[in-house]
Amino acid sequence: MKRINYAIIAHGGAGGISYAMRRRKGLIEAISIGYGMLAQGGSSLDAVEKAAMILEDTTIFNAGTGSSCNLIGDVEMDASLMTSNLHYGAVAAIRNVRNPIHVARLVMEKTDHLLLCADGAIKFARLMGVKYYNPKTRGKMRVWENRRKQPKNSYFQRHRELVHFYGTIGVVALDMNGCIAVATSSGGITMRLPGRVGDTPVIGAGTYVDKNGGVSVTGHGEEIMRHMLAFRAVTLMARHPASVAGRQVINYATKVGCRCGLAGIDNRGQFLCYNNTRAMSWCSIKNGRLKVFTGD
Ligand code: ASP
């Protein structure tokens, strides 16, 4: 039987590499645990969910605890999970849960739906036993307060300027059985309008995977959705290795003015990781070898 080269990659958003040491620590911890699960024969779905939960709990990233605030100071989060047999679950604009990625998995496994949003998602989470949790941190409240005081441009101009705050997290893994899974979780873009949903929970935009490979995308959600970047990259993986597919998609994104980053794996275990923003932090492990980039 052919031996599958299990592997895992995670990103910490394409908005920059501030607090490099804390990013490094969070990324290494999350994917080491995910890789350990794969090494013991665990599924890529379990590995990406676990690693994403660790990243959601690490306040430096814009997901789960430490998510950025919207225009009125609320935290509304998006998350999605997908496997190479096309199982999908997502939540959008969910509030007051600790791990949106876990609720996305519950949507995948306990309902016939793909995506639940806002109050419906919260009610569903409570029904599944997920407890109330406040993911707002003082740090992100301070960012919100400072932003609020800044001279008024139009909201949409400001939205574009906030590119440096992209900090969504994503994890992609290939397991011993050849299954690929992707998890993406985001606090959204700082100062967005209440109720705004980004690319993260939209199938094919922030997350996509099929038998050829899987990709998690971060960056300017509106543009990522418009150009369906995750689906675009995965489709290319049917004909090209991951690195070629990733390069083509990032070149395309640059051409159409979409500021973003993507990380993924193809079905042979080859990674892709590209961005056209100032910097993107990421970490990967294959054949026991860890690589990490947080700019330090
Ligand atoms: N893609 C996310 C969004 O637009 C933001 C990010 O990647 O940090 O909601």
- Dist. CA 179–CA 154, nearest whole Å: 45
Known catalytic residue: 111? no
DSSP labels for 121-177? HHHHHHHTTPPP-----HHHHHHHHHHHHS----HHHHHHHGGGG---EEEEEE-TT
Distances in Å between the alpha carbon of 66 and those of 5, 38, 115, 207, 230? 34, 28, 23, 21, 25
> pLDDT (tens digit, 9 = 90+) per residue, 107-147?
999 999 999 999 999 999 999 999 999 999 998 888 888 88
Q: For 46-104, what is each residue's pLDDT tens digit?
A: 999 999 999 999 999 999 999 999 989 999 999 999 999 999 999 999 999 999 999 99
CB 112: neighbour CB atoms within 10 A? 5
246 C-beta closer than 6 A to ligand 1:
no
Work out whether the CA dihedral 145, 146, 152, 156 comes out positive or negative.
Answer: negative
End-to-end CA distance of the chain: 41
Domains and CATH numbers, the chain: 7-292 (3.60.20.30)
Q: Which two tokens stand for residue 20?
A: 């490099």
The Cα 164–Cα 173 span in angstroms is 27
Q: What is the C-alpha to C-alpha distance for residues 283 and 296, in angstroms, rounded to an integer?
A: 13
Q: What is the pLDDT of residues 166-202, one digit of tens each?
A: 679 999 999 999 999 999 999 998 888 999 999 999 9
Three-class DSSP category at 95: coil
Residue 276 has pLDDT above 50, yes or no: yes
Ligand 1 center from residue 15 Cα (angstroms): 9
pLDDT the model gives residue 154:
44
Is the shortest distance between the CB of 168 and ligand 1 below 6 Å? yes
Decide whether any atom of ligand 1 lies within 6 Å of the 199 Cβ: yes
Tokens of 46: 């379990």
User: Does 99 contact ligand 1 (Cβ within 6 A)?
Assistant: no
Task: Supply the residue whose CA is at minimum distance from atom 4 of ligand 1.
Answer: 221
- At 151 the pLDDT is 61
Residue to mutate (ligand 1; options 186, 202, 275; most atoms within 8 A of CB): 186
